[in-house]
Amino acid sequence: MPFKSGFVAIVGRPNAGKSTLLNTLVGRKVAIVSPKPQTTRNRIQGILNRDDAQIVLVDTPGIHKPENVLSRQMMDDLQHALEGIDILALIADASVNFGPGDRFAIEWARRFHGPVYLLLNKIDRVAKPRLLPLIERYSKEFEFAEVFPISALTGEGCLDLVNSWLERLPEHQPYFPQDQFTDQPERFVAAEIIREKAILTTRHEVPYAIAVMIDSFEEGPKLLRIRATLYVEREGQKAILIGKRGAAIKAIGTHARKELESILDIHIFLELFVKVQPGWRDNSSMVRQLDWHRQLEQIGGYQDNEAEEEDTADGEDDDENDDEDDAKAPQNLEL
């Protein structure tokens, strides 16, 4: 059988189950998951490797109307996720009625000029007779290439879904090494796991107001030292995040450390701090720092500039040395 490889973007409304599906298909945790909507803030790639194929799955922020700089960046990430993919998978919560938000999500799907799948998720919560009318309702809005009722949580219907994708993906060599399961840097993974534990530990509006910045990431032969700051927008949110006598932040740190140790396979010393940054979700500079794609681009730019400066300096030094060598020497004398 020829080897197949390609990209599938998973889009949908907040809390439809995109990240759960990504983790289920990859077979390990790639994206953080919580009951709170809009947990995913960046596009994240998980890699499904098989003997005959590699499917690069792109998890995206939930489709919503942007209200601040952070949510506008999230929707910008979603737009980028539609570029260069082979299949678009629109995931919807089958346990809730079709509404304006679903129609808005379909409008996003219209932007993609290729096969669009409808994934009716959470069928483990739905009576089977309810599915057919729901499929008919969605089909009135858009002509989907395929419709798959699935449960991202239990895996029901997921194998058939993957096999259907493989029928449409092109013959191509793998885009990533076949032992790789995500494209995320370890620093970003650490920040996301910490944020997930903070979301699960807190309540009300605090999860939306939490940002995690990795201040230092020092890896030794046997110990990884991580220092991170959790930012919130108000003093009251800071108090909730810290908890009585520091109980909440201690629980966040313990849960995050244990999970990161299992993911990164190294002992971790984790330090957490909490700071108030009023209105950070409308702070363009801070929001950009949360986007690891932009961080990598900046790092790449800095490295290129440093390399050019070193080359220039080396060239100048070489010219000076050449002049000195010429003065001392006898006159006759590429990927």
Which pLDDT tens digit goes with each residue over 187-198?
A: 888 998 998 899
pLDDT band at 65 (very low <50, low <70, confident <90, very high): low
Output 164 or 178, whichever has higher pLDDT. Answer: 164
Output the average pLDDT for the chain. Answer: 80
Sign of CA dihedral 215, 219, 220, 226: positive
Find the mean pLDDT for residues 243-259: 94
In sequence order, the β-bridge partners of residue 270 are 226
pLDDT tens-digit map of 87-125: 999 999 999 989 888 998 898 889 888 999 999 999 999
- Find where tokens 């001392």 sit: 328
Q: How far apart are CA 87 and CA 116, in angstroms?
A: 6
pLDDT tens-digit map of 133-153: 999 999 999 999 999 999 999
Q: How far apart are CA 17 and CA 121, in angstroms?
A: 7
Q: How far apart are CA 115 and CA 125, in angstroms?
A: 27
Please give the structure tokens belonging to residue 204.
């009300």
Is the pLDDT reported for residue 306 higher than 90?
A: no
- 3-class DSSP string for 67-117: CCHHHHHHHHHHHHHCCCCCEEEEEEECCCCCCHHHHHHHHHHCCCCCCEE
